[in-house]
Amino acid sequence: MPCLEEFYDIVVVGAGHAGCEAALACARLGLETIMFTVSVDSIALMPCNPNVGGSSKGHLVRELDALGGEMGKNIDKTFIQSKMLNESKGPAVHSLRAQADKQDYSREMRKTLENTEHLTIRQAEVSEIIADGGKIKGVKTFSGAAYYSKAVVLATGTYLNARCIYGEVSYATGPNGLQAANHLTDSLKANGVEMFRFKTGTPARVDKRSIDFSRMEEQFGDKKVVPFSFSTDPDMIQKDQVSCWLTYTNEKTHDIIRANLDRSPLFSGAIEGTGPRYCPSIEDKVVKFPEKERHQVFIEPEGLYTNEMYLGGMSSSLPEDVQHAMYKTVPGLEHVKIVRNAYAIEYDCINSRQLKPTLEFKAIEGLFSGGQFNGSSGYEEAAVQGFMAGVNASMKVLGREQYVLDRSQAYIGVLIDDLVTKENHEPYRMMTSRAEYRLLLRQDNADLRLRAIGHEIGLVSDVDYERTLKKERDIEREIERLEHTNIGANAAVQEFLIKHGSTPLKTGATLAELVRRPELDYVMLKELDDKRPQLPYDTVEQVNINIKYEGYIRRQKQQVVQFKKLESKKMSADFDYSSVKSLRREAVQKLNLYKPASIGQASRISGVSPADISVLLIYLEQLRHGEKKY
Amino acid sequence: MNHTDTIAAIATAVSSSGIGIIRISGENVCSIAEKIFRKAGNKKWDMTDSDHKVVYGHIYDGDEMVDEVLMLVMKGPHSYTGEDTVEIDCHGGVLVMKRILETVIKYGARPAEPGEFTKRAFLNGRIDLSQAEAVMDVISAQNQYALKSSMNQLKGKVSEKIRELREKIIYEIAFIESALDDPEHISLDGYPDKLKSKLEPMIREIQRLIDSSDNGRVMKEGVKTVILGKPNAGKSSLMNVLAGQERAIVTDIAGTTRDILEEHIRMEGISLNVVDTAGIRETDDVVEQIGVSRAKEAARDADLIIYVVDASVPLDENDEDIIKLIESQKAIVLLNKSDLETVVTAKELKKRTGQKVIAVSAKDETGMEELEKTVRNMFYEGEIDFNDEIYITSVRHKTALTESCTSLMMVMESIDLGMPEDFYSIDLMNAYEQLGSIIGEAVEEDLVNEIFSRFCMGK
């Protein structure tokens, strides 16, 4: 039967946050790229929370931006409120979060995609992958058309065999009633891909006019907005912001939930997928934490030109009537009108340990994947994986070296390493506690960490890169100056110190020593520092942090040196671990199953002990010398 | 795991050999040696011109002299491991070796993992490639053995304590982390002071564990000491005096102790695992017979035998049996009931047994000081042979305890300095990991699980 056939360099399946970043990266690197979506109107859709960033997710967005991704720029264009979280805590855990105008976000991203050369957008359901001899050849759509390519990036999100559920009601649709993709799973399974079934959920959206805000606390944005993107001029984005609102559930709410638990598909067993522990439904919270008298509910606008409000904290899959009753017990929501019901969604995703750290399938060359399809959750987690998958698919096609960020370089590295190394039974969410070197992986220095890599990939312009290099030089020079500027214990200095609750000096001190004092900082010390150069705010921030936390930072840098040693010892994917006699059996099984890319990755596989790693090191050494000899 | 930091271990068997060797290898060897070694006459010493030479002097811990030693310095790559290496030859006594090892660790080394010297030697090309298989086997086998023995040697109560401490620590980390992750739901207001008040008792608890690790209370086993003697010679009374409590049933009916009783006793900082035995005599009583054969068995396994003789009655064939039994073993002979009229003399016994003899009275508690002194001397001079693994493990445990204590104190310091809360979890996590290494538990996904199970998060 004749059918449509087309040829591309790269096929991207999906146009959510992962798909958009993947497609943009590929096309911007000059590769002919086609991107599939079940609905062009749902490009860069935010089907759940109306915000971008948050603790550790803000880090991901900034890292993505430093590498040349789009998410940071897009949210800078479309935010309606912005906040730096954890400002009272250490710099490592400061995190940006912005409320988005959802439609605007989607529209701006679509505009960017549509204006990118080498990028084709096509509305169709991809139903098959075409693979031959362990190599990807392209994809087929449900209509029978074939799209041949050198690489494929899968970013199907929550659409595979998706099912939306509340109470006894269940629809075979993707999020927001969009068409599900019901065929690709079978094709993947036929090609030997192991699938999992995960679940997540979303709260109801309600009509703003039916809310009594006088019974809630107003939550404002920051006075001075910090942009996500290192390319955005902060002065250009200061604007009026909308508010969010805070209210609480109470015992009445909880009573209604408890009385109707038997009607919840989560507890009746109608839902088989594994849900995320970090964003539990309200019924989960009530069951798991019975001692809590109330739970917070954040009322967040979905955009500037809609009355819909998002009820953050109250996702649910309880029946419609229970939802209405329970929401109405919350102060301010007594007369609430629901626009869209809360629901849970189940979908197919993969066991991500089938992937290399490059996000390429170990068993199918040229097939890459990113986003919720890989078992993660969240827009930001999806976007960074889509980007890395897109970059590495491009590198593959271009015959260039692929990129793997390690755990000491970026949260992106931690995220992907966790996904491809550790056992994962629920949608994976980023958290700052997952990053062992978080003092080094700050959101404020993402450009200093990653701009050079983005530039080398080819997605960061010379101008942007040059700006980072200059910043680096400025920081270095200023720290040097502070370390070598002595100030005497004169009357003015002593008076300054006493005024700020700091111990007066016995002898002279350098300015750096004073910056290090907990009660002082770089900005405050301006009075004592008449030779201070005029520096941009983000340079000042780096100088202050680097001097203040120098001891801790040095400690982590030493740990990183050790970490890198094992990371740099690469393992071949066809190495047979059963040939190493002294390894324990459990270690052999795990290592043969997951084929780690390096000794470092091997050391993080559960069931592999430090002694096994020592044994492997010796074996490698023997191998290395053996090769030399023969 | 680090592969160039400085490691130390006792390289000889920890036993009665006349000389013990402590080996140190890694990047900081020289600076550690310079800190702890002084030449004869308390003179400072430095590395210059010392390569591949033996120097004579003393090991010091600060101002305190630890032992008289010979030290061999080998700069890498011309050493066993290929790294800078120092070997300290000291007197073979167990406590001396342990003390020197602890001093080396205190000044910057860490206890070596099993097989780690060999591993480094191999990785630095100092061992023939053909031996790689053997090296891998050694590392694999020794590690499994060490882990097992580490767990076995820990008293149940101690590992329970460590587990409790870890649970408390991970709870605090999880609380901090969930607040950082979800600042709008969980607040840290007023938390630093609360944490401080929780840390204080934890630090005290660890301190107590460190102190008790010095006198062996952490470990289940010590020097295995067996008390022997014919019925009613006063073994049980002696044991009660040593243990300081009525533990064995004491009557004047011969054959009261029908089985063996165990008691853990500390004597001058030495940990003795004392086994009281049923008296050894020819008997028809079946129960007592079992006791007797167990006593003989225990005696054969003993590191040290204390033979109690009733001075008020003449030696008989039962005594002959015992004298034969202790012939080839380390033993101390106690001439008990020296408060009564004696028919057996110390001189006679000394001649018969060839062992040290001390006159005591378990009833009046006389002669006990001399007994303690004698045990101590035998121990320090390395006369007593015993299972060396225990002491090596105990050094590892102590290092881990000390490090976890330091980490918790650093949290206290961070609180006092007004550091942000996220810095606390770095040191708390370190304390948690160190304690975990003692009971053989890794971190893996503990924290994430704790966060989700304890604290209600998010959206």
Roughly how many angstroms between the first and final C-alpha of chain A, as a whole number?
56
Instruction: Categorize the per-residue pLDDT at A629 as very low, low, confident or very high, splitting at 50, 70 and 90.
Output: very low
What pLDDT shows up at residue B258?
Answer: 41
What pLDDT shows up at residue A104?
Answer: 98
Whole-number Å distance between alpha carbons of B109 and B104: 6
Please tell me the number of Cα atoms within 13 Å of A562 on its side-chain side: 13
Q: What's B7-112's CATH class? A: alpha beta
Instruction: Please say if the pLDDT value at position B385 is more than 80.
Output: no
What pLDDT shows up at residue A92?
Answer: 95
Instruction: Report if residue A82 sits inside a domain.
Output: yes
What pLDDT shows up at residue A122?
Answer: 98
Q: What is the ipTM of this complex?
A: 0.90
* Beta bridge pairs of residue B332: B306, B356
Shared-domain flag, residues A592 and A531: no
Whole-number Å distance between alpha carbons of B175 and B421: 11
Mean pLDDT of chain A: 94
Shared-domain flag, residues A399 and A419: yes
Shared-domain flag, residues A573 and A506: no
Q: Which of A44-58, A506-520, A567-581, B220-234 has the lowest mean pLDDT?
A: B220-234
Whole-number Å distance between alpha carbons of A72 and B386: 67
What pLDDT shows up at residue B107?
Answer: 93
What pLDDT shows up at residue B228?
Answer: 82
pLDDT in tens, A355-369: 999 999 999 999 999
What pLDDT shows up at residue B261?
Answer: 56
* Inter-chain contacts counted by CB atoms under 8 A, chains A and B: 139
String of DSSP letters for A566-599: HHTSB--TT--GGG-TTS-HHHHHHHHHH--SBH
pLDDT in tens, A535-566: 999 999 999 999 999 999 999 999 899 899 89
Shared-domain flag, residues A352 and A309: no
Segments forming the whole domain that contains residue A526? 473-558
Instruction: Please give, rounded to a whole number of angstroms, the shortest distance from the CA of A295 to a CA of chain B.
Output: 8
Instruction: Report if residue A94 sits inside a domain.
Output: yes
Residues in chain B: 459
- Please tell me which of B80-94, B220-234, B277-291 the model is most confident about, judged by mean pLDDT: B80-94
Tell me if the domain spanning B223-380 has CATH number 3.40.50.300: yes
What pLDDT shows up at residue B393?
Answer: 67
Question: Does A7 or B340 have the greater pLDDT score?
Answer: A7
Q: In what order do the strands lie in the sheet with A308-312?
A: A217-219, A244-248, A296-301, A308-312, A205-207, A338-340
- Give B-chain residues touching A584 at CB under 8 angstroms: 140, 144
Query: A542 with A475: CB under 8 angstroms?
Result: yes
Q: Domain count for chain A, please give it.
A: 4
Instruction: Categorize the per-residue pLDDT at B278 as very low, low, confident or very high, splitting at 50, 70 and 90.
Output: low
Instruction: Categorize the per-residue pLDDT at B395 as very low, low, confident or very high, splitting at 50, 70 and 90.
Output: confident
Domain boundary among A305, A328, A345: A345
Task: Identify from B422, B427, B445 which residue to disrupt to test chain A contact, counting A C-beta atoms within 10 A and taking the largest count.
Answer: B422
Average pLDDT over residues B387-411: 81
String of DSSP letters for A80-114: EEEEEETTTS-GGG-EEEEEE-HHHHHHHHHHHHH
Output the domain CATH number for residue A514: 1.10.10.1800
Average pLDDT over residues A215-234: 96
What pLDDT shows up at residue B397?
Answer: 82
Shared-domain flag, residues A287 and A370: no
Burial of B183 (0-12, 13-18, 19+ CB in 10 A): buried
What pLDDT shows up at residue B270?
Answer: 60
Nearest to A439 by CA among B416, B414, B5, B108: B414
Exposed e or buried b per residue across B80-89, where buried means at least 16 C-beta atoms within 10 angstroms of its C-beta: bbbbbbbbbb
Output the domain CATH number for residue A325: 2.40.30.260
Radius of gyration of chain A (CA): 26
pLDDT in tens, B349-373: 888 888 888 988 887 888 888 888 8
Distance, CA of A525 to chain centre: 37
Give A 60-99 residues with CB within 8 A of chain B: 85-86, 88-90, 92-93
What pLDDT shows up at residue B40?
Answer: 82
What pLDDT shows up at residue B247?
Answer: 43
Determine what percent of chain A is predicted with pLDDT higher than 70: 99
What pLDDT shows up at residue B245?
Answer: 46
Please state which CATH number belongs to domain B156-215+389-454.
1.20.120.430
Cβ-nearest to A55 among B180, B444, B448: B180
Q: Does B459 touch chain A (CB under 8 A)?
A: yes
Contact flag A610-B444 (C-beta cutoff 8 Å): no
Residue with tokens 């096994």: A612
Query: A100 with A75: CB under 8 angstroms?
Result: yes
Which residues contact residue A120 at a Cβ distance below 8 angstroms, ignoring those fewer than 6 apart? A8, A32, A33, A34, A35
Which residues contact residue A53 at a Cβ distance below 8 angstroms, ignoring those fewer than 6 apart? A61, A75, A95, A96, A97, A98, A228, A380
Instruction: Please say if the pLDDT value at position A515 is more than 80.
Output: yes
Whole-number Å distance between alpha carbons of B148 and B141: 11
Query: B341 with B312: CB under 8 angstroms?
Result: yes
Beta-sheet pairing, B261-267 with B37-39: unpaired
Instruction: Report if residue A465 sits inside a domain.
Output: no
Determine what percent of chain A is predicted with pLDDT higher than 90: 86
- Intervals of CATH 3.30.1360.120 along chain B: 7-112
pLDDT in tens, A144-194: 999 999 999 999 999 999 999 999 999 999 998 899 999 999 999 999 999
Instruction: Please say if the pLDDT value at position B348 is more than 90.
Output: no
What pLDDT shows up at residue A155?
Answer: 98
Angle, CA B176 vertex, CA B170 and CA B177 arms, to 5°: 85
Shared-domain flag, residues A20 and A112: yes
Q: Does A519 touch chain B (CB under 8 A)?
A: yes
Let me know how many helices (H) and strands (E) chain A has, helices first: 20, 24
Structure tokens at A283: 């019924």
What pLDDT shows up at residue A87?
Answer: 93
pLDDT in tens, A253-292: 999 999 999 998 877 777 777 777 777 899 999 998 999 9
How many beta carbons lie within 10 A of that of residue A564, not counting itself? 15
Cβ-nearest to B123 among A433, A519, A618: A618
How many beta carbons lie within 10 A of that of residue A328, not counting itself? 15
Determine what percent of chain B is predicted with pLDDT higher than 70: 76
Checking phi first, is residue A399 left (phi over 0); if not, alpha (psi -120 to 50) or beta?
left
Cα Dmax for chain A? 93
Instruction: Report if residue A464 sits inside a domain.
Output: no
Cβ-nearest to B418 among A279, A295, A518: A518
Shared-domain flag, residues A167 and A45: yes
H or E element that contains B267 = strand B261-267
Q: Does A580 touch chain B (CB under 8 A)?
A: yes
Instruction: Report if residue A467 sits inside a domain.
Output: no
Query: A486 with B386: CB under 8 angstroms?
Result: no
Instruction: Categorize the per-residue pLDDT at B257 as very low, low, confident or very high, splitting at 50, 70 and 90.
Output: very low
Which residues contact residue A191 at a Cβ distance below 8 angstroms, ignoring those fewer than 6 apart? A129, A131, A364
Nearest to A347 by CA among A163, A525, A109, A524: A163
Shared-domain flag, residues A295 and A318: yes
Give B 93-132 residues with CB within 8 A of chain A: 113-116, 119, 122-123, 125, 129, 132
- Intervals of CATH 3.40.50.300 along chain B: 223-380
Shared-domain flag, residues A31 and A113: yes
Domain boundary among A528, A558, A588: A558
pLDDT in tens, A568-587: 999 998 899 998 888 888 89
Contact flag A278-B457 (C-beta cutoff 8 Å): yes
Instruction: Please give, rounded to a whole number of angstroms, the shortest distance from the CA of A115 to a CA of chain B.
Output: 35
Distance, CA of B371 to chain centre: 22
What pLDDT shows up at residue B285?
Answer: 66
Shared-domain flag, residues A367 and A514: no
Shared-domain flag, residues A372 and A401: yes
Instruction: Report if residue A563 sits inside a domain.
Output: no
Shared-domain flag, residues A512 and A577: no
- Give B-chain residues touching A217 at CB under 8 angstroms: none
Cβ-nearest to A93 among B133, B137, B422: B422
Q: Does A614 touch chain B (CB under 8 A)?
A: yes
Instruction: Report if residue A513 sits inside a domain.
Output: yes
What pLDDT shows up at residue B149?
Answer: 62
